[in-house]
Homo-oligomer: A and B are copies of this chain.
Amino acid sequence: MFYFIGLGLGDAKDITVKGLEIIKRCSRVYLEAYTSILTVGKEALEEYYGRELILADRDMVEQEADEILKGADVSDVAFLVVGDPFGATTHSDLVLRAMNAGIEYRVIHNASILNAVGCCGLQLYNFGETVSIVFWTDSWKPESFYDKIKRNRDMGMHTLCLLDIKVKEQSMENLMRGRKVYEPPRFMTVAQAAEQLLEVVQNRRERAEEPAITEDTVCVGLARVGADDQAVRAGSLREMAECDLGAPLHSMIITGHLHPLEVDMLKLFSSPEGLSGLKMTDSSTYVS
């Protein structure tokens, strides 16, 4: 049997009892390590499970899938994924290869950022399409995420923005020379995402577009959701651009129409100054 096992979002103990039992009896255990991270590393997981893990980077999953699946028809092999195995990323390719090879598979689900963001008090029912915000470069500044957020907001829906992760990134020079030398991993912060969004807001203003989002739009910044030291901050987009939520991973929500109970919950996560004179001017804009 080939097992896809979700690890949840915080540390080693966020795995389910069922998942842990399976890991202990498998012949090989892979750790997918390019779409998300826990607050603990491979070594901490190995110590907790009492066994060795094989790190599976993107190259291995895409190019050596048959190697990963090998023997899973006669013994148990596990593939560990941070969050839920079919959460923010799907591993459909691996499923299809397993099925083609006559290998049965099972999924052990766990929390993913897509449902755990509910901890900020916004109703998951009221979220529209999830968007990704990627790191801009000097020459590449895609704005498509703005239009998706706008579309969601037009319907009153909240938008979860997943923020870019750059793992095993190669510099242009190393890439061109074919040298497998990697840059340190980078994780987009809420402040960086908010800055990019503010830049798009400004661009659209210059084009005299009807503003769908302004500096005062209510947003929620989240960091290390599910971990002991998780941080949640609610405030204007301008505030998001200035906040420091600490270590990765970060996510950001752009709110749509806010229900009174949602507002009450968000106030728990506002800054004291933001809270004091907080009043709502429209469905999703606070002014102090």
Contact = CB atoms under 8 A, between A and B. Distances in A.
B95 A121 contact: yes
A151 to B, nearest CB: 7
Contacts of A170: none
Interface stretch (A53-61, A81-89, A185-193, A213-221): A81-89
Interface string A1-26: 00000101111111111101100000
The 6 tightest CB contacts between A and B, nearest first, are A86-B118, A109-B111, A13-B18, A112-B115, A13-B17, A109-B116
Nearest to A14: B16
Interface stretch (A36-44, A71-79, A176-184, A260-268): A260-268
Interface residues of A, number: 55
A256 to B, nearest CB: 10
Copies in the complex: 2
A127 B157 CA distance: 12
B93 A261 contact: yes
Given A109-B111, A115-B109, A116-B109, A88 B124 contact: yes
Nearest to A262: B92
Most B CB contacts (10 A, CB to CB) among A20, A118, A124, A127 go to A118
